[in-house]
Amino acid sequence: MIRLGVNVDHVATIRQARGTVYPDPLAAALEATAGGADQITIHLREDRRHIRDADVARMKAAIAVPLNLEMSVSEEIVSIACRERPAAATLVPERRAELTTEGGLDVAGKMAEVRAAIRRLFDAGIEVSLFIDPDLRQVEAAGEAGARRVELHTGACCDAKGSSAAERELDRLARAAGAAKGMGFRLAAGHGINYENAATIARALPEVEEYNIGHAIVARALFVGMKEAVREMRRLLNP
Ligand code: PXP
């Protein structure tokens, strides 16, 4: 069974657009769990544009499935993670001007910082995954940094224009997934996955055990409700 992590950041995006207390990302997480989410994923960004510090603590206290905190390697955010102790942390790159996480973490180029963050998170009892591009150099660097899990960035594949570009990107993902599995990594994937491309991607990447999907599920939930949106995505991943 492929696991589905539901990212509820964009429920908080709607809340922050007006500075209200609704919609509550925790309420969305509980609905997602009722619909079959295996994990809840949230990204505490340095600029706090959607998820806020209090959301992390409330989520951790109230959900019955593991909490996966996406986060940068900044000292402040690593300290918050060590205090809140989510089940898992996924280290991602972060640039303030970006619309969303636009590329994978350059593990090779940030080895000392990534290694230090992994060590602190491990010491706090948190599983750590590195969000990387499907690039063999980054897979190897993730191993050198001490990670045992990686999440492959599917954005380039999902955003590819035209079927041959998408196939090329899917092939790149499949090669990276095969190499990572061969090196003993546990594998997740995510970014840009929607109701059109999920089944194709999941079929092409049998090594991937977990998908983290946010934007498409929150968007679908507007029309069918969160529980049903999660059920539909689970069926696509596990036909
Ligand atoms: N995985 C990671 C590491 C991410 O940073 C994101 C975006 O927050 C996702 C998965 C989910 O991406 P999307 O919202 O496009 O489904």
Q: What is the pLDDT of residue 175?
A: 98
Residue 32's closest CA among 228, 196, 195? 228
Question: Which residue puts its alpha carbon closest to atom 9 of ligand 1?
Answer: 191
**Ligand 1 atom showing the smallest separation from residue 215 Cα:** 14
DSSP assignment of 29-63 equals: HHHHHHTT-SEEEEE--TT-SS--HHHHHHHHHH-
Q: What is the pLDDT of residue 95?
A: 80
Q: Are 32 and 226 in contact (CB under 8 A)?
A: yes
Q: CB neighbours of 222 closer than 8 A, spacing ≥ 6?
A: none
Phi then psi for residue 144, to 5 deg, are -65, -35
Q: What is the pLDDT of residue 102?
A: 76
Q: What is the pLDDT of residue 128?
A: 98
Q: Distance between CA atoms of 18 and 209, rounded to whole angstroms? A: 37
Q: Distance between CA atoms of 232 and 194, rounded to whole angstroms? A: 11
CB 43 less than 6 A from any atom of ligand 1: yes
Q: Write out the two tokens for 176.
A: 């990276």
Residue with tokens 């602190």: 120
Q: What is the pLDDT of residue 64?
A: 98
| 197-209 exposure pattern, b = at least 16 Cβ within 10 A, e = fewer | bbeebbeebebbe
Q: What is the pLDDT of residue 98?
A: 74
Q: What is the pLDDT of residue 53?
A: 98
Q: Distance between CA atoms of 113 and 73, rounded to whole angstroms? A: 7
Amino acid at 186: R
Per-residue pLDDT of the chain (239 residues; tens, 9 = 90+): 999 999 999 999 999 999 999 999 999 999 999 999 999 999 999 999 999 999 999 999 999 999 999 999 999 999 999 999 999 999 999 986 677 767 899 999 999 999 999 999 999 999 999 999 999 999 999 999 999 999 999 999 999 999 899 999 999 999 999 999 999 999 999 999 999 999 999 999 999 999 999 999 999 999 999 999 999 999 999 99
Say how many Å lie between the CA of residue 213 and the centre of ligand 1.
6
CB 91 less than 6 A from any atom of ligand 1: no
Say how many Å lie between the CA of residue 7 and the centre of ligand 1.
7
Q: What is the pLDDT of residue 227?
A: 98
Q: Distance between CA atoms of 16 and 51, rounded to whole angstroms? A: 9
CB 214 less than 6 A from any atom of ligand 1: yes
**Ligand 1 atom showing the smallest separation from residue 151 Cα:** 3
Amino acid at 103: G
Q: Which residues are catalytic?
A: 43, 70, 191
Q: What is the pLDDT of residue 60?
A: 97
